[in-house]
Structure 1
Amino acid sequence: MEPEAKWLWKTTQTEDFYATYTISYQLTLATREPLLKEHLLQALAHLSRKVPLLRVCFGRRNGEVWIREMAEEALDFEVVSNVTIQDLHKSLQTYRYDLEKGPLWCVKLLSEPPSSPEVPAGFDASKFCHMYTLFLGLHHGITDGNSNMRICGFLVQILESVMGKKAIDDAEQLGVYVSDEKTRRLLEDYVASLEADPELRRKVMDEIQSRYGKYSLLKSTYKGVGEKVPRTGVLEKNLDSDSTIAFIKRCRAEGVTVNSAFIALSSVAVVDLLVDQGLEQDTYDIRSDHVLNARRYWGGDTSQYLGCHLLPLLPVVAKTPRNIEGKFWDFARSVHQDILRKLNEGGPLLEEAAKHFMAAKPDFDPTFQYEFCVTNMGNVTGLVTEGGDHVQALHVVRTVAMNTVPCTWSILLHTFRNRMIFALTYNTSFVNSEMANRFCNRIFQRLQESL
């Protein structure tokens, strides 16, 4: 008889929203000794036993979808060969998980060593001469970028112990899997504050309604360029350590965050594409949306909390000039001030609370009418770790499936071991590969001009 499942909680609005997405992570490792299949199987078994969110699945309870613990331990691991990195990402972005049995994650090991691996400065390839590429697929409904980067770090450290023949205590759990109860309570507070402040309520509602009827300029300008059947395209570009450090220093000197500067760069690159297609204006309202970690508003130490803890997308509209020459950092500061204001006032929570006072189903849904979406995790070196005496983590890339939503592209940005890593995922029904390459090249061209 199958063991009785432990029910955790009914799926939340956040978990339901992100359940349409599938995540694919690419982790490059280097080891002193050859990495055997047995090493990985042992490490993944420990990982599953020590990380609670890797032991959950979905189930129906009283007609509703709940998250529950898996009835039995199971791993989804495969060694693959003769496939490209693009093909692996594609397969994981359309991966079919056994939702009611689990696991809701999988791991693929590419048997061939990377042909041209991304290697951090100062890495000693003579000591760690065996290189491998791991691919982690995850169901977005149970996890987020913060949790995923931690999971990559847990795997690196467990593999270090396995290859170093150190004892591993499976009873010691790595992190705590929680629902977004803290975020929901915060949202209730924001609803109450808007109830008590009609002027603020009107201001936030006006800002939301200002986006109604405004379609993406890219989708309106570039018509008929995509494929009939949508899929997710992936383009990766990295900044060397010297340029990364120089860019970070310049941002600090100009009084803006790297995130704000990159949003400004991306906004300018969108304008470049619009001008290329013949849409000529003095300025353009470039809307970008931003995925934020809800933990930032929880207070206290949130480092142990795992799960899908993302806020509703935060829209930012930047009035972007066509001619940016000599004015880029002034423009970046204006972007920074707008984002900082929205972050300080709890923008995503404030907007979500305001919807409580608005029509449930407006005639026009502006959710995906942005020009680009950004998920910036900052420096993830501490989360992924650099490794140890037996295993080194060299490179990490994250992608997300975009073919299930009617949007253009999403920028996934982070820094690892002093290098900025940029992944552009795009919906091929709206964006073709030539556009994606041009957009990416313009961003980095503008970045070099800003140094």
Structure 2
Amino acid sequence: MGEEGKWVRKASRNEVSMDSLNESETLLVVYKMSFSARRPVQTQEVEQALRHLYRKTPNLRVCLTDKDGEKWFKEVDEKMIDFEVSAVGVEEVTEFLHTHSYPKDAILWRARLVPVATPCYHPQHLSSFHTDLQGTFPHCYHLVFGFSHAIGDGHTFIRICAAFSHILDSVLSGKEVDTKQIGCFDLNEEYESKIEEIKKRLLKDEVWREECIRELNEGKPESSILQHVLSPCEDRPKKTLLHTQTLDKAATTRLVEKCRAAKVTLSSCMAAVCNMALVDLLVEKGVVQDTYTVSNMHMINMRRTWPKETTEHAFGWYISSSFRQFFVTPRTVDGDEFWQYTREIHSKFYSFLQDEQFMEKAAFVKWCYSTGNRQIFKRDLSFNTRGNLTQRFEGTKEITVTNLLSSTSIHNSTIPWNDIVGTVRGRLSHTTKYNTSMVTKATALQYSDLVYARLLKITAP
């Protein structure tokens, strides 16, 4: 490449922070794209598709290195692409990507192809592959990407995975792949400057900080319900593990229709379902009360504050989390009461998003993390909702993407677990991600099963 090795730009404070966390095996990103193919996919075809992806995606062409005492992004040669066909299963590959950071001056992503010799289709809610494709798309694979959060967030990586699926399809079809860039890795300096300006004001404005803290603690109970769920153990191996369950297409359609009728988002509905499942878990563990106070946080794409025409192709790290919110949750909620409870969650969360001081509050979140005040954000459940990704993967001929699951490593953090939700091919998946040093496998799977049971109940015909 003619521009190989050029300096791209100085890394932002957030990007440097993400790189530092990644070095300690924290928040290392994994995306598992499951797909079925008409014919066997050859290693060289995947390699060719990855080279095209590298050429079309600016943040996949960089490393993070030192320049004059500062961290800068610099382009690297495509020979540094880290790709292998894995001889082990997808769980082992995911664990590897969750525990291996990216060396200095090295490319900031990896890819592993995991062929599935004998695809499992049953039970369908635990399968990555779909029975309706078994005859025409019999060859099944996982393409597992590892990413550094220094080069992107969920908005970024979803678009990269979708682009790869179309590139691979073109390669398999013998079609030419163009060189059009699929994203822009320029820093949004106006946004970054505004956030930094607000953070500086926060350092001086003690009254405003106290107001934010009061809002964060509004409704906070004397003790967290998680003390009845967590089982911290220093001797237990530290791992980030995942358990995913998927609704079928008909149930997902019914769920979406019920959300529309109730005038709530699927994200708010899933928060309500998970809160109820956590209460069910507490009851099964012998903690029986009339009501429980459950705290929630949501991940937020900060591009929502930008002009719409600038957001789609803006690659990089532009996420924040909502303020912690507390919800009084009855032990028994069914029928119309469930949707009334969901509307309460929806109203409170979207009031935060529409607050005229939303940017200031987002900056306060960043200020708290950067100054070590993370205890303010301890919560029972946190949610990362990817939305409906079906359309992004449509239009391919030689492959069909059946699921896209994402996770970040939390085993070296104080985060016990979180919930990840997304829809591909009209099927909604819920993933419980958990930190084994704080949550036992039995408890995590018990909670996940209770979430799925709640979903089946509210989507019953």
TM-score, with length taken from structure 1: 0.88
| Higher fraction of helix | 2
How far apart are residue 296 of structure 1 and its match?
Answer: 1.3
* In the alignment, structure 1 residue 105 sits paired with structure 2 residue 105: no
Q: 2: distance between equivalents of 1:358 and 1:401?
A: 21
Alignment of 1:22-421 (within 5 A): 22-70=28-76, 73-81=79-87, 83-98=88-103, 100-113=104-117, 115-117=119-121, 118=127, 123-170=132-179, 172-187=180-195, 203-208=211-216, 216-219=224-227, 222-224=230-232, 228-301=236-309, 302-326=311-335, 327-345=337-355, 349-354=359-364, 365-367=374-376, 369-383=378-392, 385-421=393-429
Instruction: Give yes or no for contact 1:205–1:354 (8 Å, CA) kept in 2.
Output: no
* In 1: Cα distance, 2:199 partner to 2:146 partner: 36
CA contact (8 A) 1:222 1:277 kept: no
Identify if the C-alpha distance between structure 1 residues 201 and 78 changes in structure 2 by more than 3 Å, giving closer, same or farther. closer
The alpha-carbon deviation at position 347 of structure 1 amounts to 7.0
How big is the shift at 1:34?
Answer: 2.1
Displacement after TM superposition at 1:335 (Å): 0.7
Match of 1:439 in 2: 447
Give 1:104's aligned amino acid.
Answer: L
Of 231-240 and 24-33, deviating more is 24-33
Q: Aligned pair count?
A: 445
User: Residues 170-212 of structure 1: CA distance to partner in whole angstroms, max 9, x if unpaired?
Assistant: 3x211111335343345368679999x9998764342135599
Amino acid at match of 2:308: G
Tell me the residue number matched to 1:11: 12
- Quote the offset at 1:93 in angstroms: 0.8
Comparing 286-295 and 61-70, the one that deviates more: 61-70
- In 1, are the aligned partners of 2:232 and 2:439 still within 8 Å (CA)? no
- Deviation per CA, 1:31-71: give whole Å up to 9, x if none: 23321111111111111111011011111233333333226
Letter in 2 for 1:150: R
Q: Which moved more, 1:296-305 or 1:323-332?
A: 323-332
Q: Secondary structure at the match of 2:250?
A: helix
Partner Cα distance (2:294, 2:217) in 1: 16
- Point out the more displaced range, 42-51 or 322-331: 322-331
Report deviation, 1:280: 3.4
Superposed displacement of residue 77, structure 1: 0.7
Cα separation, 1, equivalents of 2:195 and 2:453:
41
The SS at the match of 1:25 is: strand
Letter in 2 for 1:74: M
Name the CA distance, whole Å, in 2 between partners of 1:76 and 1:253. Answer: 47
Local SS of the residue matching 1:397: strand
What SS is found at the alignment partner of 1:249?
Answer: helix
* Residues 212/366 of structure 1: CA separation in 2 closer, same or farther (3 Å cut): farther
Deviation per residue, 1:84-133 (Å, 9 max, x gap): 322121111112322x2221111111133352154777954433332222
Give, in whole Å, the separation in 2 of the partners of 1:313 and 1:358.
12
Change (3 A) 1:357 1:444: closer
Q: Structure 2: how far apart are the matches of 1:354 and 1:147?
A: 24
CA 199–106 in structure 1, closer or farther in 2 if over 3 Å, else same: closer
Return the offset for 1:232. 0.7
Between stretches 352-361 and 266-275, larger displacement belongs to 352-361
Worse-matched range after superposition: 389-398 or 247-256: 389-398
How far has the Cα of 1:417 moved from its partner? 1.0
- CA drift of 1:283 comes to 2.2
Please give the secondary structure, in 1, of the residue aligned with 2:423: strand
Range that drifts further, 325-334 or 142-151 = 325-334
- Matches of 1:440 and 1:272 in 2, distance apart? 11
Query: What is the identity, as a one-letter code, of the residue corresponding to 2:283?
Result: V
1:421 counterpart letter in structure 2? S
**Cα distance in 2 between the residues matched to 1:93 and 1:35:** 26
Bigger Cα displacement from structure 2, 105-114 vs 345-354: 345-354
Contact 2:228 2:282 survives alignment (8 Å): no
Letter of the 1:77 partner, please give it.
Answer: F
Equivalent position SS for 1:291: strand
Q: Distance in 2 between matches of 1:33 and 1:359?
A: 48
Instruction: Select between 264-273 and 72-81 the one with higher mean Cα deviation.
Output: 72-81
**Matched residue of 1:89: which SS?**
helix
Structure 1 residue ranges without an equivalent (≥5)? none
> Quick check: 1:212–1:365 contact (8 Å CA) kept in 2?
no
User: Is contact 2:15-2:151 (8 Å) kept?
Assistant: no
CA distance in 1, matches of 2:37, 2:97: 25
Structure 1 pair 10/140, CA: closer, same or farther in 2 (3 Å)?
closer
Q: Which moved more, 1:14-23 or 1:245-254?
A: 14-23
CA deviation string 1:260-317 (max 9, x = no partner): 1110111111122223333333322211111111111112221111112212444222
**1:249 and 1:121 mapped to 2: Cα distance?**
23
Q: Give the letter for the 1:79 counterpart.
A: V
